[in-house]
Amino acid sequence: MKRRRRARRISRNGEGRGRGRGRSGSPTDGRGGSPHDPAAVLELFETELEGLWERGWMPAELVRVVCGEYSAPRPLVVGLILHQHRRRGWAVHPRWQAQLDELEGEPHLSDDRLLSALPPRSQVAATGSLLFWMRLLGPLMVTCPPPGSAGSRASRPLSGSGTRYLEKVRALLAKAEATEFPEEAEVFSAKAHDLMVRHAIDEVMLEGRSQGQGPEGTRIWIDSPHAAPKFNLLAATAEGHGCRALWNKQLAYASVVGFRSDLEAVEMLFTSLLVQVTGAALAHGSVVDEFGRNRTASFRRAFILGFAERIGRRFAENRQRAATAATATHGSSVLPVLAARDDEVERAVAEAFPRTGTMRTSASNTAGYSAGYRAGARADIGGRRVGRGRGAALGSGA
Q: Spell out a b/e string for 85-108, using b for 16 or more CB atoms within 10 Å of the CB, else e.
A: beeeebebbeebbebbeebeeeeb
Mean pLDDT of all residues in 31-46:
77
Residue 186 pLDDT > 60, yes or no? Answer: no
pLDDT, tens digit, 9 for 90 and up, residues 350-396: 999 998 888 877 788 888 999 888 877 777 676 443 333 444 445 44
Q: What is the per-residue pLDDT for 205? A: 75
The answer to whether the CB of 20 falls within 8 A of the CB of 135 is yes
Cα–Cα distance measured from residue 142 to residue 151, given in angstroms and rounded to the nearest whole number = 13
Angle, CA 116 vertex, CA 110 and CA 117 arms, to 5°: 75
Q: What is the per-residue pLDDT for 318? A: 83
Higher pLDDT residue, 38 or 16? 38
Q: What are phi and psi of 64, to 5 degrees?
A: -60, -45
For the chain, the maximum distance between any two Cα atoms, rounded to a whole number of angstroms, is: 74
Q: What is the per-residue pLDDT for 208? A: 58
Sign of the C-alpha dihedral, residues 389, 196, 369, 177? Answer: positive
pLDDT, tens digit, 9 for 90 and up, residues 239-283: 988 999 999 999 999 999 999 888 988 887 888 778 778 888 898
Q: What is the per-residue pLDDT for 231? A: 97
Tell me what the pLDDT averaged over the chain comes to.
Answer: 81
Cα–Cα distance measured from residue 104 to residue 40, given in angstroms and rounded to the nearest whole number = 24
DSSP H or E run through 170: helix 160-178
The answer to whether the CB of 197 falls within 8 A of the CB of 316 is no
Cα–Cα distance measured from residue 235 to residue 360, given in angstroms and rounded to the nearest whole number = 13
Q: What is the per-residue pLDDT for 334? A: 85
Among candidates 76, 51, 74, which has minimal Cα distance to 64? 74
3-state secondary structure at position 6: strand
pLDDT, tens digit, 9 for 90 and up, residues 196-231: 777 778 777 776 544 557 999 999 999 999 999 999
Mean pLDDT of all residues in 106-129:
89
Half-sphere exposure of 87 (CA within 13 A, CB side): 15
DSSP H or E run through 104: helix 94-104
**One-letter identity of residue 225:** P
Instruction: Measure CA of the first residue to CA of the last residue in the chain; give whole Å.
Output: 21
Angle, CA 144 vertex, CA 140 and CA 147 arms, to 5°: 105
Cα–Cα distance measured from residue 19 to residue 134, given in angstroms and rounded to the nearest whole number = 11
List, in sequence order, every residue forming a beta bridge with 248; answer none if it has no partner.
253
pLDDT, tens digit, 9 for 90 and up, residues 279-302: 888 989 999 888 888 999 999 999
Q: What is the per-residue pLDDT for 258? A: 96
pTM for the full model? Answer: 0.82
Q: What are phi and psi of 291, to 5 degrees?
A: -100, 5
